[in-house]
Amino acid sequence: MILPLAPAHLMALAAFQLSALLLFLDPRLAAAPLLVFVATCLAAPLFPGFSFYLPIVSRGRKGVPGVALTFDDGPDPLVTPRVLDLLDRHGVQATFFVIGQKAANHPDLVRDILARGHAVGNHSQTHPPFLMLQGRRAMAREVAAAQAVIRQCGVVPLAFRPPVGITNPALWRVLLDQGMFCVNFSCRAWDAGNRRVAGIARKLLAKVRARDIILLHDTAPRRVTVDCLLAEFDGLIQGLKRKGLPILPLSALLGKEIMETGAPGDLHAARVFYDGLADHYDHEQFCSGVSRSRRMEQALFSARLPHLFAGAGRVLEIGAGTGIFTLDLARYCREVVAVDISSRMLDILQRKALEAGIRNITPVQGNVETLDLPEPFSAICAFSALEYLTDLPGLLARLAPGLEPGGTVYFITARRSLFRLFTQMGNAMRQGIWLKARSRREMAAMLAANGLEPVEISGHLLKSWLSGGMLLEVVARKRA
């Protein structure tokens, strides 16, 4: 379920609670927390890297020793072709955040940008400077209209840069609905859209540092010639090289794609998130705060693996990801149909399988709730994936007929509990998606309604008198 939860929401809750408390202690101070909150709300949009209303990407990943060049407000027939020639001469790739209306007037320029190896992002349809003062519907129209124009050139932007870099509370939901994320910048020359060209290179070189996203504009300057503008860009690129700062594609700096080529797929928010996380997913799962949960899953799975899956025929794994569980499954059964919404995660899974000499994994990219899958199955399993589904009862009703009589169902999923609530909130702040947690009773009822007999449903991880655990392990069989 799309449910964007931002620091702004938590600050609002804290401000109201603190205000209510102060009302009893000292009424004169009761308004102070609310005033601080309002002041923060007014100031936040003016800071391009402040993720107050939504996650904003404004710098590269830690440890990446380079910078990225981005150009806004084009394409411009007087400037963009010459910028492309300059980038070619230096062997540099950049990202162009184009205005939909200009792209519609000059589609050949957008195609030329792409043909020369650069990326294209969405910068709204008409670039209204006060777009963020308008309502959600107006923002949605601006973003969607620009997407439609750019798609005509053969790519689907995943990155959106708001006009003037200003954000507001409604923008995140608009981007999630489009399967996009927000990219701003961390280094700019305050050129006012090329109204102040003199000294662009000097200003930027004086403050640029590794991981910066540099903001430039490929629009005609107001007071100087295009030659002067190009000279500044040339000086900047040469200066970056002298400083030992490699100029990287924005996708390389961020570790996530800025656009996808070809026909638009299902730009589900989870797909865009996990495509961007794919290269670092395994490290995060085992070297971060979520590792305890993942290692518990592995231990539970390893204990069940020989008993539940040895000699199985075709096994369906929902949310296979990078293959953390898939490779072991494949060693015990005839075939694993590995379904995941992220194509990049599945690419990593296939690479792992190839390196391990495993040939019985069939990857299937897409939303399992809408896919036609090869039946029958000897077993169906999922590991921390059912939380993302919008209609788990409906999916079980669709899959149960394709499960062989006596076939196994094995799920490890989020268990509803007080502790789980905090992780659900954290996920809503990170991905904008509210992950569904379920009780033992709910899971048992869903299984029974579809002819699946629960064998064991147990809670694990952080079990206490307050909570039955954060993980729900489910073993069931289809009635013969």
Instruction: Answer yes or no: are the C-beta atoms of 403 and 478 closer than 8 Å.
Output: yes
Any catalytic annotation for residue 217? Answer: yes
Query: Both ends of the chain: CA-CA distance in Å?
Result: 35
What whole-number distance in Å separates Cα of residue 364 and Cα of residue 352? 16
Residue whose pair of structure tokens reads 């997913």 in the numeric block: 281
- How far, CA to CA in Å, does 359 sit from each of 10, 323, 335, 340, 355? 48, 13, 9, 18, 10
What whole-number distance in Å separates Cα of residue 353 and Cα of residue 361? 8
Encode 177-210: b = buried (16+ Cβ within 10 Å), e = exposed: bbbbbbbbbbbbbebeebebbeebbebbbeebeb
What whole-number distance in Å separates Cα of residue 198 and Cα of residue 211? 25
DSSP letter string, 316-365:
EEES-TT-TTHHHHHHHEEEEEEEES-HHHHHHHHHHHHHHT---EEEEE
Kindly name the residue from 106, 127, 217, 268 that is annotated as catalytic.
Answer: 217
Is the sign of the CA dihedral 235, 238, 239, 240 positive or negative?
A: positive
What whole-number distance in Å separates Cα of residue 259 and Cα of residue 122? 9
Any catalytic annotation for residue 282? Answer: no
Task: Examine residue 75 and say whether the peptide bond preceding it is cis (omega within 30 degrees of 0).
Answer: yes
The stretches of 179-249 forming alpha helices (DSSP H) are 200-207, 226-242
For the record, the structure tokens of 239 come out as: 């200066």
Q: Which residues are catalytic?
A: 72, 217
